[in-house]
Chain A
Amino acid sequence: MINFNLFFNYVKRLERDNPVKAPFSGSNLISNMSNVPYNNPVYTQINAPGRYWIYEYTLAISKELLGYVRGKYSTVPIPGAEVTLNQDALITAATAEKVALIEKLRTELDEASRRNQLERRAAENVAMKTTLNEVPLPIFIG
């Protein structure tokens, strides 16, 4: 005798016409922002553009941190004189790079969103219809 588990989805009759009803019930139900299933991405599963973004953002953070480290002593004594460290330049550059990278990420995610994909597909359909409408009808000579 072999044991099997049989799963089936069901919808209550009272809820089947509810437009905001979750497709599944149970512990996976998302009720607010706190239980949205955001998982930490695994680095090995990130593609090359994503890894390059991480590399650039890490570089910007490192630059910013180095700027703060060098800001503890803006001038460093050398024999008989002192040299000025580039704290301001590092922090300014790092801040600008971080803002640009966040904006780039936001733009790319927005372009790849479900809504944009649907809009693009709709535009393709319209273009396809227009193209097909321009195709001449065959002439039948009887």
Chain B
Amino acid sequence: MAMFGRQRDVQLFNSVNQELIHDIIEQLVGYYKVMLNQTPANVYGEAQNKTYLGPILIPCLLVRGGTTQETDTFGPDTFRELEVRFWKDDLISANVVPEIGDIILWNNLYFEVDNTNENQLVVGKDPNYPYNSDVVPFGDSLSIILTCHLTRPEILGIEQQTL
């Protein structure tokens, strides 16, 4: 039986994360989720017009990339990457499963999710996949990290409404 990484230790990590993310950093992003049942696809399986649900405000940590400009035959274009690090408990509370194609709203900028990465395990164990009855209550999957790129709201069909 493993001595480290029991549920009490996981609770300690969770309390530190809760305090740090919710009370100290307090960084929020809006999360748009694609509604597949209201997003019709063409014969090729492509959806030209997507319908999104949201935004839902979720606390997170951000790693902001720099803005770069590229000019081609169609004119200048702006590129920017964003890494959004969610504490998994926040996603569970918000009932959100991140997937490629979802949209992140931050500072009135829209970012499309390119990749989701759930690979931060406390003491290297995920209690959802124990494969051994002794390690069931050990470890935890702590975070889901999304890699996103800047996109335009006109492409998404998301328009900001102001009163």
Q: Which residues does A use to contact B, with CB under 8 Å? A: 72-73, 76-81, 83, 85
Number of chain B residues close to chain A: CB under 8 A: 21
What is the CA–CA distance of A130 and B11 in the complex, to the nearest angstrom? 72
The verdict on B136 contacting chain A, using a C-beta distance below 8 Å, is no
Q: Are B16 and A79 in contact (CB under 8 A)?
A: no
Q: Are A80 and B63 in contact (CB under 8 A)?
A: yes
The verdict on B81 contacting chain A, using a C-beta distance below 8 Å, is no
Q: Are B61 and A79 in contact (CB under 8 A)?
A: yes
Known: A72-B9, A73-B9. A78 touches B83 (CB 8 A): no
Q: Are A73 and B20 in contact (CB under 8 A)?
A: no
The verdict on B85 contacting chain A, using a C-beta distance below 8 Å, is yes
Of B4, B9, B16, B145, which is within 8 A of A80 by CB?
B145
The verdict on B29 contacting chain A, using a C-beta distance below 8 Å, is no
Contact with A along B116-152 (1 / 0, CB 8 A): 0000101000000000000000000011110000000
Of A72, A73, A79, A85, which is within 8 A of B142 by CB?
A79
The verdict on B13 contacting chain A, using a C-beta distance below 8 Å, is yes
What chain A residues lie within 8 Å of B21 (beta carbons)? 78-79
What chain B residues lie within 8 Å of A72 (beta carbons)? 4, 9
Known: A72-B9, A77-B142. A83 touches B120 (CB 8 A): no
The verdict on B111 contacting chain A, using a C-beta distance below 8 Å, is no
B148 smallest CB distance to A (angstroms): 14
CB-CB nearest in chain B for A70: B12
The verdict on B17 contacting chain A, using a C-beta distance below 8 Å, is yes
14 contacts between A and B (CB under 8 A): A72-B4, A73-B12, A73-B13, A76-B17, A77-B143, A78-B17, A78-B20, A78-B61, A78-B142, A79-B61, A79-B86, A79-B120, A81-B61, A85-B16
